[in-house]
Chains A and B, each alone.
Chain A
Amino acid sequence: MHLFFLAVEVTIGGMRIIASAHSSFPRVGDRPEEQKLRRAFAGLEKGKITEAEYKSAQDELISEILTIQESAGIEIVTDGLIRWYDHASHLARNLNGFEINGLLRFFDTNTYFRQPIISDKISGGNGAMADEAGFLAEKTSRTAKAVILGPYSMMRMSQNSSSINREELIEKLGTIIGSEISRMGAAGAAIVQVEEPFLIREPGGFDLFAAGFKALNKARGNTPILPAFYFGDCGKILDRLVDLPADILGLDFTYSPGLLEKIAVDGFPKPIAFGIIDGRNTRMESAGDIARAIEKAMVRIKGDTCHITSSCGLEFLPRDYAIAKLELTSKTAKLLNG
C-alpha cells in the first residue's frame, strides 16, 4: 500500500493523544516505607510468610502503583509487572511444558532473566495471567493495559530442547500466547501490550516474527493488542510493521533520531504509541520540546487516538525518577491536546 495516499485522509487536528504507562514500574523506592514488597519477598524466601501473604503484598503494591499513575495523570495504566520475576520466566511459569534455567542478561539493562527451556509438551496456561489482568481491571477506573511477552522474543529468550523446529515452534508459541491474550481480554484488560524487544536488533528474524504474530492474531479473538518494540532503532523495520494486524503500534523513539521526521514526511496508516520519554536515563526532557517534536508526526497519522509513553518500562529508573517521567508524559499529552 502507498503511505502517502493514506496519510492524506487524516483530519489534521482531530487526533487525540493519551498519556499511557508503558509496562513495568519500580517495585521499591529509596525510603523504607516504599520497600514492603522487598521485605515480603525476603520473608517468603525464608519461609516466614506464606505464598498467600506474599500475594497480598503484591496486591497492595499494585494498588499503590495505580494511585501513583492516576495522580500523575496517566490514563492507560498497568500493574507495573510487579508480579513478574522477568519477562520470559513469568510467561514460562504460567504456561505448561517449560522448565526454568539459569540467569542471562536482559540486553544492556544490567537486569537478568531466567532462561525458559522449551519441551515437546508446551501448551496453554493455568489462567494466572488472566487473573492478573482481571485484578488490574478491577482496581482501576482508568483503561487497564495488560502486558505479555510476544512469541518471537519468547523463542529468542528460551532454550529449545524440544524436537519442534523453529517454524513450527513460533506458530505454536503464537497460538499459545494469542489464547492467553484472549483470556486476559475476557478477564477485563482493555488492551494487551505484546512486547517484542528482540526484533529490532535482529531484523533478519522478521519472517519468523511475522509467522508467530499471525498465529497470535488468529488466537487472540477480539482483544485489542499493542505490539511494542523497543531497545533499538524502529526506523529499520517501520515499513514492514505497517501490515501487522494490530490496533496500534508501540515504538521506541529514543534510538532513532530520524524516526519522527520520517513519519512527519511519509505519514503512517496506523495509530502509534509514541515511546518517546526516555525510560533508560534520569535526565529529564522538556515537555515543550517533546510536544513540538511529536506534533508534526502526529498530524500525519491515520486514526483518532495515539498514545504517548516512555521508550520502555520504567523499572530501570529509581522510583522518584519514574514518577517524574510519568508526570512528564501526561504534561506532554496535555500540551498536545491543547
Chain B
Amino acid sequence: MSRELLNRLGIEIPLLPTTSVGSFPKPPYLTKARSDRKKELISSDDLYNLEQQATKEWLDFQESIGMDILVDGEMYRGDMVAYFAEIIPGFDPGGLVRSYGNRYYYKPIIKSKLKYPGPMTVEWWKRAQTLTKKPIKGMLTGPYTIMDWSFNEYYPDRAAASYALAELIRDEVSELIGAGCKIIQVDEPAVSVRPEELEIAKNALQIVTEGQNAYFITHICYGAFEKIYPAMLDLPVHNFDLELSNSDLDMLEHFARHPFTKDITFGVVDVHTHKIEDVELIKTRIEQALKYLPKEAVWIDPDCGLKTRTVEESKQKLSNIQAAVEAVRAELQE
C-alpha cells in the first residue's frame, strides 16, 4: 500500500480514487484545427490556443463530475510514441502503419544516437495544474514501449535502445518533479507481449524511477497478463493501471492465486466499444475486484485511453464510473 507515500507527497485521496488512463478524444473543432494546421491554413498559435481550450474543457469536466486524480487529456498529442519521437533528436518520423481496423499511426525509426531535447511535457503539465487544485498526473510513454513501437536502425539490440530511451525519460521525470508533479505515469503497454523481455522493461523503468521522489504508475493493456504475472509486480512502480474489463475480469483468478502486492488502477469500462456500460454493471465489476484486492489499494478508471471514443461517449463512460464508485463508497461506509 502506498498511501503513506502519497501522504508524504502531500496528496490526499479518498477510498477508490477515480482517474483516467490518459488520453481523451479531441473535440471536433480541434480535430479540424489539427488538419487545418497540417495544410497550413491556420498558424501554430491558433492551434495552440484551441489545444488549451480543449484541455480546459476536459479539466472542467473531470472536476464537475468529482473525479479525484485528473489528466490533461493529451489534446496536444497524437500517437503516444510519435509525440515523443517527433521531439527527440535521433528519430526519423517513419511512416504510417495500421494498428487495427481503420486506425493507423506513424511508426518512427531510430536512425542515430538519441538525445534529451529538454522538457517535452512539462509546460503542458504546469499550465494544466494551475487550472485545478486536484492533482494532475504527469504522463509519459515508457522506454520499453517507445523502443518496441519504433523501428531501430541504430542501436545494436532492443535492450540497448530501451536503456538509451530510459536515460532521457528519466531526465523528463526529473523535470516534471522539479515543476511540482507528484504522480507520474509511465505507460508500458508493450511489456505484456514478450514475457522473455520483462527484464529489459524492468531495468529500463529502474533507470527512469530510481531515486526520484514521486508516486509512479505504469499502464499496461491488451496483452497476456497471465504470462507476466506475478513477475510483473517487480517492475519498480507503486501502482499498475490495468485493462481488465475487455477480458471479462479474468485476471481476478490470478490475483486469487497470487495476491496483488501493489496498488492497482482497475479498468472498469471497455474503451473499444460504443456501448455505454451502465452504473450497475460497473458497480458489479468494482465489487468483484474488491473480493480479490484490498480496498485501500484500488483506484478506478477506464480500461485504456478514451481517445478512440467520441467526446459524448467518453463523458458518459466517465460519469457512470464516478457514479458507480460513489455508490460503492457509500456501501463500504455503511
List chain A positions with a Cβ less than 8 A from chain B: 26-30, 38, 41-42, 45, 85-86, 102-105, 107-108, 110-114, 281-283, 315-321
> Is B190 an interface residue when CB atoms closer than 8 A count as contact?
yes
Q: Contact at A111–B148, with CB atoms within 8 Å?
A: no
- Alpha-carbon distance A108/B192, docked complex (angstroms): 9
Is the CB–CB distance between B151 and A282 below 8 Å?
Answer: yes
The CA of A111 and the CA of B104, in the complex, are separated in Å by 10
A318 touching B107 by the CB < 8 A rule? yes
| Contact status A110-B99, CB under 8 Å | yes
Q: List the A side residues contacting B151 at CB < 8 Å.
A: 281-283
Question: Is A282 a contact of B97 with CB atoms below 8 Å?
Answer: no
In the complex, besides A30-B95, A45-B102, A318-B97, 18 extra interface pairs with C-beta distance below 8 angstroms are A26-B96, A28-B96, A28-B104, A29-B95, A102-B246, A103-B100, A103-B222, A103-B246, A104-B223, A108-B194, A111-B99, A112-B100, A281-B153, A282-B94, A283-B153, A318-B94, A320-B95, A321-B95
Enumerate chain B interface residues (CB-CB to A < 8 A): 94-102, 104, 107, 109, 148-149, 151-153, 190, 192-194, 222-223, 246-247, 270, 272-273
- CB pair B190–A29 under 8 Å, yes or no, is no
CB of B222 within 8 A of CB of A112, answer yes
Report how far A108 CA is from B97 CA in the complex, Å. 14
Give the contacting residue for B97; candidates A103, A114, A281, A316; CB below 8 A: A316
A111 touches B246 (CB 8 A): no
- A-chain residues with CB within 8 Å of residue B102 when the two chains form the complex: 38, 41-42, 45
Instruction: List the 4 shortest-distance A-B pairs measured between CB atoms, nearest first.
Output: A318-B95, A112-B100, A41-B102, A282-B151
Contacts of A45 in B (CB 8 A): 102
Say whether B97 contacts A317, CB under 8 Å.
yes
CB pair A110 B246 closer than 8 Å: no
Q: Check B149 against A282 for contact (C-beta < 8 Å).
A: no
Within the complex, which residue of B97, B153, B270 is in contact with A102, where a contact is CB–CB below 8 Å?
B270
A103 to B272, CA, bound (A): 8
* Complex contact A105–B193 (CB within 8 A): yes
- Among B152, B193, B194, find the residue whose CB has the most chain A CB atoms closer than 10 A: B193
Bound-state Cα–Cα, A211 to B194, Å: 27
A315–B193 Cα gap in the complex (Å)? 19
CA A318 – CA B223 in complex, angstroms? Answer: 24
> Please, which residues of chain A bring their CB within 8 A of the CB of B152?
281, 283
Measured between C-beta atoms, what is the minimum distance from A312 to chain B in Å? 13
Residues in A whose Cβ lies below 8 Å from that of B149: 110
Q: Is the CB of B97 within 8 A of A315?
A: yes
Cα–Cα distance between A77 and B97 once the two chains are bound (Å): 21
How far is the CB of A36 from the nearest CB of chain B, in Å? 12
Which residues on B sit within 8 Å (CB–CB) of A316? 97
Q: Check if A111 sits within 8 Å of B107, measured CB to CB.
A: no
Q: Which of B98, B223, B272 counts the most A-chain CB atoms under 10 A from its CB?
A: B98
Residues of A within 8 A of B97 (CB): 26, 315-318
Provide the bound-state CA to CA distance between A42 and B31, in Å. 15
A108, A111, A114 — most chain B CB neighbours (10 Å):
A108
Q: Give the shortest distance, in Å, between A260 (CB) and chain B (any CB).
A: 20
In angstroms, Cα B102 to Cα A107, docked, is 19
Expressed in whole angstroms, the Cα–Cα distance for A116 and B272 within the complex equals: 16
> Which B residues are in CB contact (< 8 Å) with A283?
151-153
Distance of A112 Cα from B194 Cα, bound (Å): 15
Chain B residue at smallest Cβ distance from A41: B102
Closest to B105 in A: A110
Distance, CA A318 to CA B95, complexed state (A): 5
Cα(A26)–Cα(B149), bound, Å: 17
Q: Which residues from B are CB-within-8-Å of A282?
A: 94, 109, 151, 153
Q: Do the beta carbons of B222 and A104 come within 8 Å of each other?
A: yes
Contact present for B96 and A105 (CB under 8 Å):
no
User: Chain A residues with Cβ under 8 A from B193's Cβ?
Assistant: 105, 107-108
List residues of chain B with CB within 8 A of the CB of A105: 192-193, 222-223
